[in-house]
Amino acid sequence: MDRFQLYIDGAFHDGAARFPSLDPATGTPWADMPEARAPEVDAAVQAAHRAFTSGPWPKMTASQRGRLLLKLADLVAEAAPDLARLETRDTGKIIRETTAQIAYVAEYYRYYAGLADKIEGAHLPIDKPDMEVWTRREPVGVVAAIVPWNSQLFLSAVKLGPALAAGCTVVLKASEDGPAPLLHFARLIHAAGFPPGVVNILTGFGPTCGHILTTHPRVAHIAFTGGPGTARAVVRNSAENLASTSLELGGKSPFIVFDDADLDSAANAQVSGIFAATGQSCVAGSRLLVQAGIKDAFLARLKAKAEAIRIASPDEMETEIGPLCTARQRDHIAATIAASVARGAKLVTGGAALPGPGFYFPPTILDCSAAPDAPALADEFFGPVLSVTTFETEDEALAKANDTAYGLASGVFTRSLTRAHRMIRGIRTGVVWVNTYRAVSPIAPFGGHGLSGHGREGGLAAALDYTTTKTVWLRTSDDPIPDPFIMR
């Protein structure tokens, strides 16, 4: 089997133990992975701390840091085909998606390369004479960055890029499910010339790796992407070191279609929003709210498109849906569908795992119009399952869209500009797409609230999350400071 290593303090290591990684297309082991435990985690954090406090990294100018990020961007672009093949093999994500996404990941590093020397402080018009006062934006220190297996190179870029631009050092933990792309990415960090310890890359399991990392006393900030359950543990862990946190969590994003929408365009966007990446995306448009008068016509369009999707091996460019990443995810989806049907939801298409090897699940549409308490409307599937409900009025659409503990993304399809603006104001999500879906850019902040987390990734806002403000007071008078105990 292929063999991978940890990356600590500028060198590659085997780790405390080894574990197999399964190919989701076959369900069989294909690679031998290193497992980081307490000694390796401590070594990585200590290396990051040394790199932050001494050596070449803190002496570099912001422009020099930017040039290293630019070199990394070029290496990512060059290695994109290899990284894409690894991600497809280890996670089951289809090759046409990994190829396109990883090629674009390079743009995030280019963006933050350019931003590195544009993180500014400010001069304050202070209300005291003979004083000059200004603020400096300085790096927070060692960052623990934790990413899941899905879109991991992208989710790493939106943490590494701004953290390194700000001058932090990083310990990046890849998921134990499908870590191969990030362990290979360590070779690009090495080749780009980052000083030892600036970036360290581990993988391992929650209790023996993630817990140790997020409670480590030298960690100053935790950037986490994953589910709300694990996020709660991360926040509890941060009480040990009082690290600040930025959390990008799950979603149950409403996809709202009004009767004046371009239905063909909306259907294409809905198919992309829920079935792309086999539905394994935090921004999946998994909750369709369709105006009652067009429900049947719109569902007929979606059903035809869903049943025409090509399900096959993820390494074929013609494949449109591949396997789920893990067997437990497949089983979770099947159980949630069964519970929803028991509450009165009706299957429009799909609904059962496919036979044979691998963790395949077909595109599924579940009509929950008569089952408002179906788990499918509240719980995140993280798979290719669309839950459908209807609305009559704009106010009802808004109420149903906001009837969730999540608040990550939303989509609105209408030809009415005034209605679009009302919906934008009313929907409580961090991202609103109007007449489009799943558009992202390194320039635009991304994130949510509620069970979808806090903090932002992308744009200048992300870089500021990795800084702390220092206020500087400079007395400009040459006169001696008066003795405070002599009354005048």
Beta-carbon contacts of residue 412 (< 8 Å; ≥ 6 apart): 256, 258, 420, 423, 424, 427, 432, 433, 434, 435
**H helices of 242-262, where?**
none
What sign does the dihedral 170-34-84-211 (CA atoms) show?
negative
Dist CA 121 CA 138 (whole Å): 9
Residue 248 is among the residues annotated as catalytic for this protein: yes
How many Cα atoms within 13 Å fall on the side-chain side of residue 425?
7
Tell me which DSSP letter residue 208 carries.
Answer: I
Task: Tell which residue, 285, 225, 236, has the closest CA to residue 413.
Answer: 285
Task: Say if strands 467-475 and 453-454 run parallel, antiparallel, or are unpaired.
Answer: unpaired
Enter the tokens of residue 363: 């595109």
157, β-bridge pairs = none
Dist CA 216 CA 222 (whole Å): 11
Residue pair 325/307 in contact (Cβ under 8 Å)? The answer is: no
The owner of tokens 């399809």 is: 413
Residue pair 401/410 in contact (Cβ under 8 Å)? The answer is: yes
Q: Which of 176, 248, 320, 457 is catalytic?
A: 248
Dist CA 471 CA 136 (whole Å): 6
Dist CA 112 CA 114 (whole Å): 5
Enter the tokens of residue 338: 């069964």
What residue type is assigned to position 287 of the chain? Answer: R
Residue 427 CB coordination number (10 Å): 20
Catalytic residues: 248
